[in-house]
């Protein structure tokens, strides 16, 4: 068994040269909202869920992006309700949120 059941990384990378980046989609606010929701649900900590910041995850064209491990499930999201759905469905129930999946061919 791994230390965390789920580890969710949010890309918070910011580019200043005009290229696409997750920071331009307010990824920091999504990260903070997710962290609060996980903690409030009692999911945080060893054996549960860890929410982490990440630098560029190299899937900028689909931004903002987040990835859940150990499954390697890549998500894109628009607002806090999408983050709530990831917490409620994937992190709590263990089911993939199909409508928020980042297509496999989306890269930088």
- The residue with greater pLDDT, 49 or 108, is 49
78 torsion bin: left (phi>0), alpha (psi -120 to 50), beta (else): alpha
Q: At which residue do the structure tokens 């980042």 appear? A: 102
Contacts of residue 102, Cβ cutoff 8 Å, sequence gap at least 6: 59, 62, 65, 74, 75, 76
- Predicted pLDDT of residue 23: 93
User: What's the pTM?
Assistant: 0.93
- Predicted pLDDT of residue 108: 78
Give residue-wise pLDDT tens across range 28-51: 999 999 999 999 999 999 999 999
- Predicted pLDDT of residue 1: 64
């Amino acid at each position: 068994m791994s230390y965390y059941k789920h580890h969710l990384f949010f890309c918070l990378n910011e580019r200043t040269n005009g290229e696409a980046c997750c920071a331009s989609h307010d990824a920091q606010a999504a990260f903070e909202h997710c962290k609060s929701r996980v903690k409030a649900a009692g999911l945080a900590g060893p054996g549960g869920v860890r929410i982490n910041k990440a630098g560029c995850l190299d899937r900028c064209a689909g931004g903002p992006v987040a990835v859940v491990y150990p499954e390697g499930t890549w998500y894109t999201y628009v607002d806090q309700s999408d983050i709530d759905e990831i917490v409620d469905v994937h992190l709590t129930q263990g089911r993939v949120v199909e409508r928020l999946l980042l297509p496999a061919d989306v890269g930088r």
